[in-house]
Amino acid sequence: ARLREEVGRRGLQVSGGGVFGALHQADRWETDIADARKVAALVQAMGAAYLIYLPELYRDLDGNFVYAPELDRDDWDRLVTRVSEVGKIVRGEYGVSLVFHPHADSHVGTQDQVERFLADTDPASVPLCLDTGHIVYCGGDNLALIERFGERIGYVHLKQADPALLARVQSEGLGFAEAVRRGVMCEPPKGAPAMEPLLAALRRLGTDLFAIVEQDLYPCDP
């Protein structure tokens, strides 16, 4: 009720809600599914349609490694199996569509990881949230993903990264939080990818996509 009041008096609507999960961890299932159900219930109550599911990062806000940057086969299999299961649960119980968000400093971020993830997950229960800035940050190709996996894209974050700052981040081996503090995720249209060809490629899919123009600022000062 409080959320409905706050967004309503600003003339806004809720499109979805986000939640992180460490589904590759054997002992995290109960906690992660409880978190997903809590956010899905709020999304449903607000008349929204999407649960944006993000993999927990392997680096903390200080740049320290919490997990190894690569998953072994068992952990990868656990991740993709559980994401598919979460997607089935939130759709069946709340009528909400899970869309998976590849993320910098996570186990699903690079082009190879995203493609492997899409190959190993259930297409019916795990659409993709294409965050264009994170794909660029991780060295991926947005246009190639749209062309090859367009039917899997269910939601879009239109975002850009500053190529010059990104090169410095890579050369210094910085974590994502510090990179954001330095402004690597810039205000569109000042970075990459170029928006015109990206939007044209999305239009060619002929699907009704919800898109948010976004700039990562956390954990910067307000």
Average pLDDT over every residue of 25-45: 97
Average pLDDT over every residue of 82-110: 98
The 10 Å Cβ neighbour count of residue 70 is 10
Alpha-carbon gap, residue 132 to 219, rounded angstroms: 20
Amino acid 110: pLDDT: 98
What percent of the chain has pLDDT above 70?
A: 100
Are 86 and 100 in contact, with CB atoms under 8 Å apart? no
Amino acid 68: pLDDT: 96
| Average pLDDT value over all residues in the chain | 96
Beta bridge partners of 129: 155
3-class state of residue 12 by DSSP: coil
Is residue 221 pLDDT above 90, yes or no? no
Tokens of 55: 């993999």
Distances (CA, A) of 3 to 8, 47, 109, 157: 8, 12, 31, 22
What is the DSSP code string of 129-142? Answer: EEEHHHHHHTT--H
DSSP state of 21: E
Alpha-carbon gap, residue 130 to 159, rounded angstroms: 10
Distances (CA, A) of 47 to 27, 94, 95, 154, 158: 32, 11, 10, 17, 23
Alpha-carbon gap, residue 213 to 123, rounded angstroms: 25
Q: Is 153 left (phi over 0), alpha (psi -120 to 50) or beta?
A: beta
- Of 149, 179, 145, nearest to 162 (Cα)? 179
Q: Which of 17-26, 113-122, 210-219 has the lowest mean pLDDT?
A: 210-219
- Of 169, 168, 108, nearest to 140 (Cα)? 108
Are 175 and 59 in contact, with CB atoms under 8 Å apart? yes
**Per-residue model confidence as pLDDT tens digits over 135-144:** 999 999 999 9
Is residue 222 pLDDT above 70, yes or no? no
**Per-residue model confidence as pLDDT tens digits over 157-176:** 999 999 999 999 999 999 99
Are 133 and 101 in contact, with CB atoms under 8 Å apart? no
3-class state of residue 56 by DSSP: coil
What percent of the chain has pLDDT above 90?
A: 96
